[in-house]
Structure 1
Amino acid sequence: MRASRLVSLLLLLQARGRMTAQELSAALEVSVRTVYRDVESLGAAGVPVYADRGPAGGYRLLDGYRTRLTGLTADEAEALFLAGMPGPAAELGLGTVLAGAELKLLAALPADLGGRAARARHRFHLDAPGWFRHAEPTPHLAALADAVWRERMVEIRYRRWKTPREVTRRLAPLGVVLKAGRWYLVAQPGDGEPRAYRIASVLELTVLAETFTRPDDFDLAAFWDAWTRRYEESVYRATATVRLTEAALELMPFVFPPAMARMARAAAGPVDNAGWRYTAVPIESVRHGHIELLKLGADVEVLAPAALREAFTATARAMADRYQITPDRPVAPDRSAD
């Protein structure tokens, strides 16, 4: 274990340059004291590791020093090929690049590792979009990804849900994210903090000649994690109080958006004597709650708000009238066997 950690420390310094003991500690998931001991061990073994003092200091390798100790283990080779995503790479315009890189890697690996790595691709497959969803058209994705890579400013005409529906924005593109089969652009407008834009809603794109300086402290993964949490919390502006059956509670994850189902199930109380459970269902609006809760049919009863209960009452009356059997509206013959 310690030998593997020493190799990892050496490769981190080789790949990233100067790193502080705290940064190495976080990357290797060990204590700072352990980093000190490992650095001393590398130095004793003849590796030219130097410590720079001061606020901008840290550990670094002697300029020009490189190690050839970069061989892959069998597990690492398999994991590397599992990380390849042919579909998303093709959407980004990198399909042929990825295929070429894989061929070169396979050619460079020893025969036994190459065989194991190739088998991983044949046994595991990533299908990013959710069920019953087709891939969104994203004609500007490759150009946006290129602008992110080259740090070029862009101007987009964008369609959003609120008025005015179409707006023009001048942005510094910081990254692209694939979430449940949907591509998003993370970009910084001139007037504020980074935001997320759905790439399928980009109507027009102009990549500008002007470049921008990427913020040194911007972490795409950390931004996305925080942004998705804020989005899920902010989108549900109201709550519906309902009583429902156990069957409806079990059905929620299959018919509701994930955050909505998760919060409603977490708030559910115990079963009462009549077999009902009471819970609070987060909703965006009365209209949204009406559409979503109708999916549970007669296994749910809305208790509040009053406007949502009235909407259900009107729907129930309209459906009862629609399906009422009268002499002038007989049941249509069943022709399924014809």
Structure 2
Amino acid sequence: MSAERLLSLLLMLQTRGRMSARAIAGELGVSVRTAYRDLTRLQAAGVPVRAEPGPGGGYQLLDGYRTRLTGMSEGEARALFFAGLPGPAADLGLSAEVTAARLKLLAALPAGLREAAARTAAVFHLDAPGWYRAPEPTPHLSLFVDAVLTRRAVDVRYRRWRAPHEVRRRLHPYGLVLKSGTWYLVAASESRIATYRVTQVLDAAVCDDHFDQPQDFDLAAHWTSYLKDFQSRRFTGTATIRLSPHGRRRLPDNLPPEVVRAVASTATAVGEDGWVEAVIPIESTDHACGELLRLGVDVEVVAPAELRRAMTAVVGVLARTYGAR
């Protein structure tokens, strides 16, 4: 039995409320049987853990019970400062709150931990947007933060890539995700959960209608599943290309990592000048044409014929444009 694990179990029940034995076991990294034993030991130690049977049941502390154990290790103190990274906090309208919380935390820590936490905060900085792109304006982000926390519906006018390009929907916001400097809203609409890019929201208004979020919804797990599904649908075909040695060196800075990996695994030499031939995944003819043109004379499309014709057409227009002058 681990006293540290029992303390983690106690704090988990205190902060999350009712949890099933299976969920507890998953969080603690133990078997369900061990989770049951730990719950029994907490009860034997006088902690008022109550069991609720049936569907939707689980274990929870009696209302009003709170532990006064607030000890914090050096690693935990440092980790807490990572949660208060100023960029995302400012986007969410929580800059002042984060600053105040950090000051209170520093004041509450012993001198040694206070110095270690302050050093950690001073030497790590998050700059979420990628190179060569400015942060996207998110005028509706604070509205979505409020809707997520208060469980209120939001009416939006949204711009999407497929027709009809503008749609109106009533959303039940479940959470917000920051991905490579871009904010996404995960929300339910018409009995399905979808992802919306916050910058594509044209208008938004919080409603008086409240909603209940499913108890088993896990934002991190949903996002992981969404990314996996997105990647499986992203590439719809393949293309055979030839690359010069210079083109291979430029590849990581100009094309997605999936293309870079495909070239590394399928490249075969053609001729004695260092050129190679490889098969790469593509999203569509138009998208692949724009991506590959970044490599200029260091790439040649061999197949499919449709993509080769598209490249020829664009290069022909460029030749006529610059030749005329």
Shared fold per TM-score greater than 0.5? yes
SS at match of 1:312: helix
Q: Contact 1:135/1:181 (CA < 8 Å) preserved in 2?
A: yes
Query: Residues of 2 paired with 1:252 and 1:109: CA distance?
Result: 49
What amino acid is aligned across from residue 292 of structure 2 in structure 1? L
Task: Identify the residue that residue 4 of structure 2 maps to in structure 1.
Answer: 4
Residue 265 in structure 1 maps to residue 263 in structure 2: yes
Partner Cα separation in structure 1 for residue 204 and residue 318 of structure 2? 46
> Per the alignment, do residues 55 and 254 of structure 1 end up closer, same or farther by CA in structure 2, a change over 3 Å counting?
same
Measure, in 1, the Cα distance between the counterparts of 2:62 and 2:214. Answer: 28
Bigger shift: 240-249 or 22-31?
Answer: 240-249
1:144 deviation in Å?
1.3
1:95 pairs with 2:117: no
Structure-1 separation of matches of 2:19 and 2:215: 15
Output aligned runs, 1:71-86, within 5 Å. 71-86=71-86
Report the equivalent of 1:116.
116
Which of 309-318 and 166-175 deviates more? 309-318
Structure-2 change in CA distance of 1:120 and 1:35 (3 Å): same
Partner of 2:200: 201
* 3-state SS of 2:163 partner: coil
Alignment check: 8 A CA contact 1:268 1:277 kept: no
Q: Is the 8 Å Cα contact of residues 186 and 193 (structure 2) preserved in structure 1?
A: yes
1:24–1:218 Cα change, 3 Å: closer
Whole-angstrom distance in 2 between the partners of 1:218 and 1:38: 25
Matched with 1:226 is: 225
Show the counterpart of 2:307.
308
Describe how 1:18-167 pairs up with structure 2 within 5 A: 18-49=18-49, 51=51, 58-167=58-167
Question: Are the structure 2 counterparts of residues 161 and 319 from structure 1 closer, same or farther at C-alpha, using a change threshold of 3 Å?
Answer: closer
Deviations 1:110-161 (A, max 9, x none): 2221221111111011111111110111111101111111111111111122
Whether the 8 Å contact between 1:232 and 1:259 is mirrored in structure 2 is: no
Single out whichever of 238-247 and 172-181 deviates more from structure 2.
238-247
Gaps of 5+ in 2: none
Aligned partner of 1:33: which letter? R
CA RMSD in angstroms, aligned pairs only: 2.7
What residue in structure 1 maps to residue 286 of structure 2? Answer: 287
- Deviation track 1:292-329 (CA, whole Å, cap 9, x = no partner) reads 112223332211111221233344556666777xxx98
Q: Aligned pair 1:212/2:182, yes or no?
A: no
Greater C-alpha radius of gyration: 1
Unaligned runs of 5+ residues in structure 1 are: 330-338
Corresponding position of 2:295: 296
2: CA distance between counterparts of 1:42 and 1:217? 25
Shift of 1:33: 3.4
* Cα distance between partner residues in 1 of 2:66 and 2:143: 35
Q: Secondary structure at the match of 1:280?
A: strand
| Structure 1 counterpart SS, 2:97 | helix
What SS does the aligned partner of 1:290 have? Answer: helix
Per-residue CA shift, 1:265-296, capped at 9, x if unaligned?
Answer: 36524445544433222223222111111222
Is the Cα–Cα contact under 8 Å of residues 303 and 309 in structure 1 kept in the other structure? yes
How far the C-alpha of 1:24 sits from its partner, in A, is 1.9
Partner SS for 2:279:
strand
Number of aligned positions between the proteins: 324
Instruction: Give the deviation of 1:65 after TM superposition.
Output: 3.6
* Larger displacement relative to structure 2 (37-46 or 135-144): 37-46
TM-score, scaled relative to structure 1:
0.85
Give the stretch that moved more between structures: 200-209 or 37-46: 37-46
CA 1:260–1:208 in structure 2 vs 1: closer, same or farther (change >3 Å)?
farther
Inter-partner Cα distance in structure 2 for 1:314 and 1:53:
68
Read off the aligned partner of 1:149 and give its amino acid letter: L
Cα pair distance change 1:213/1:34, threshold 3 Å: closer
Cα deviation for residue 261 of structure 1 reads 3.8
Cα distance in 1 for partners of 2:197, 2:311 equals 33
8 Å Cα contact 1:157/1:205 also seen in 2: yes
Normalised by the size of structure 2, how large is the TM-score? 0.88
The alignment-based identity, stated in percent, is 53
Partners of 1:219 and 1:33 in 2: CA distance: 23
> Contact 2:267/2:279 (CA < 8 Å) preserved in 1?
no
> Residue 246 and residue 147 in structure 1: after superposition, are their counterparts in 2 closer, same or farther (change >3 A)?
same
Contact 2:177 2:184 in 1 (8 A): yes
* d(CA) in 2 for partners of 1:177, 1:211: 22
